[in-house]
Amino acid sequence: MNNTNFRKPVRKAVFPVAGLGTRFLPATKAIPKELLPVVDRPLIQYAVDEAREAGIEEFVFVTGRGKTAIVEHFDTAYELESTMTGRGKSLDVLDPTRIQPGSLVTVRQQVPLGLGHAVWCARAVIGDEPFAIFLPDELMYGSPGCMAQMVEAYNEVGGNLVSVLEVPMEEVSSYGVIAPGESKGNLTEVKGLVEKPKVADAPSNKIVSGRYILQPEVMDLLASQGKGAGGEIQLTDSMAKLIGEQPFHAVTFNGRRFDCGSKVGFVEATLAIALDREDMGEEVRKMAKKMLG
């Protein structure tokens, strides 16, 4: 197939936020995992900021029961704003929470059947355009952001892209793993994809890390995708079927990635970002040194 078919601009992004967040119970019993704050911003805010920077214009949230507060976060809080204005407080702090009217769309995933199913729930909004996917519990930290780096690569090679990073071989069984082909700079050809392989069967230690640019044809594959690893409908299984049909590459993110779906990863993100912040870094550094003796 001709590569020029797979180069339409990436304007839409899907944020699957319908998962149960069981690893963070009891914190996530009533509060969505995606609203847990790293310092003073909820996880979903970091993902939306990264999307905006990459030129995303339409934000599609795949939500479920108990997840409405995520949408509220991006709504106008009239009472809060008028009270703050009345007290002479600046509203600038709320700027990142403003999404243009009509640019935020929500669809429901009635039952959390897996990431592949969550993405498929957005098919009507995506239509026949390529789209980005952000898993907000993977916090990608760097400048330019991970998706901006991926869009730059997409403008070169088109097709489908995933972000990858290397982990110790013994950790691969928790992730989607690529079979790498040729590499050039931060781009690697993807020859195969497997979800949560046994260490002995893993084709590499390069894991897919929460950011994707996919062509719309993946939606047709997801429609008939059966259950995979963990009894869930896996995005990886449908993506794997695109290999050989359409260009497929991996981008190694030049930046830091924090797995905020895990408790230790969440603490790591909080500490790293607090240390990096101009308004508090010094103070946090002193406190951390003192705590560590």
Q: For residue 211, state whether it binds ligand UTP (rule: CB under 6 A).
A: no
Instruction: Considering only the stretches 51-59, 107-115, 142-150, 198-206, report the one whose residues sit in contact with ligand UTP under the rule CB under 6 A.
Output: 107-115
Among left, alpha and beta (phi > 0; psi -120 to 50; other), residue 231 is left
Distance CA 177, CA 189 (A): 13
Residue where the block lists tokens 């603490």: 267
Cβ at position 151, least distance to ligand UTP in Å: 21
Q: For residue 135, state whether it binds ligand UTP (rule: CB under 6 A).
A: yes
Q: For residue 113, state whether it binds ligand UTP (rule: CB under 6 A).
A: yes
Instruction: Considering only the stretches 11-19, 85-93, 238-246, 272-280, report the one whose residues sit in contact with ligand UTP under the rule CB under 6 A.
Output: 11-19
Q: Quick one: tokens of 120? A: 């498929």
Eight-state DSSP code of residue 246: B
Distance CA 160, CA 248 (A): 5
> For ligand UTP, what does the binding mask look like between residues 25 and 44, x meaning CB under 6 A?
--------xx----------
Q: For residue 196, state whether it binds ligand UTP (rule: CB under 6 A).
A: no
Does a cis peptide bond (omega within 30 degrees of 0) precede residue 9? no
Quote the crossing angle between the two packed helices 263-276 and 281-291, to the nearest 10°: 130
Cβ at position 115, least distance to ligand UTP in Å: 5
Q: Which residues pair with 12 in a beta bridge?
A: 58, 131
Q: For residue 16, state whether it binds ligand UTP (rule: CB under 6 A).
A: yes
Residue nearer to ligand UTP on the CB measure, 44 or 157? 44
Q: For residue 114, state whether it binds ligand UTP (rule: CB under 6 A).
A: yes
Distance CA 134, CA 152 (A): 16
Distance CA 266, CA 139 (A): 9
Distance CA 254, CA 104 (A): 29
Q: Quick one: tokens of 209? A: 């890390």
| Contact of 120 with 18, CB cutoff 8 Å | no
Residue nearer to ligand UTP on the CB measure, 135 or 213? 135
* Residue at shortest CB range from ligand UTP: 19
Q: Quick one: tokens of 128? A: 């026949």
**Alpha helices for 75-145 (secondary structure H):** 78-86, 115-120, 123-126
Q: For residue 136, state whether it binds ligand UTP (rule: CB under 6 A).
A: yes
Q: For residue 224, state whether it binds ligand UTP (rule: CB under 6 A).
A: no
Direct distance between the N- and C-terminal alpha carbons of the chain, in angstroms, rounded to an integer: 61
Instruction: Considering only the stretches 14-22, 86-94, 183-191, 201-209, report the one whose residues sit in contact with ligand UTP under the rule CB under 6 A.
Output: 14-22
Site for ligand UTP in 236-265 (CB under 6 A): 261
Cβ at position 135, least distance to ligand UTP in Å: 4
Q: For residue 167, state whether it binds ligand UTP (rule: CB under 6 A).
A: no
Cβ at position 286, least distance to ligand UTP in Å: 33
Instruction: Considering only the stretches 10-18, 74-82, 167-175, 247-255, report the one whose residues sit in contact with ligand UTP under the rule CB under 6 A.
Output: 10-18
Residue nearer to ligand UTP on the CB measure, 36 or 157? 36
Write out the H or E segment, with its range, that includes residue 268. helix 263-276
Q: For residue 273, state whether it binds ligand UTP (rule: CB under 6 A).
A: no
Question: Interface residues with ligand UTP (CB under 6 A)?
Answer: 16-23, 33-34, 62, 109, 112-115, 117-118, 135-137, 261
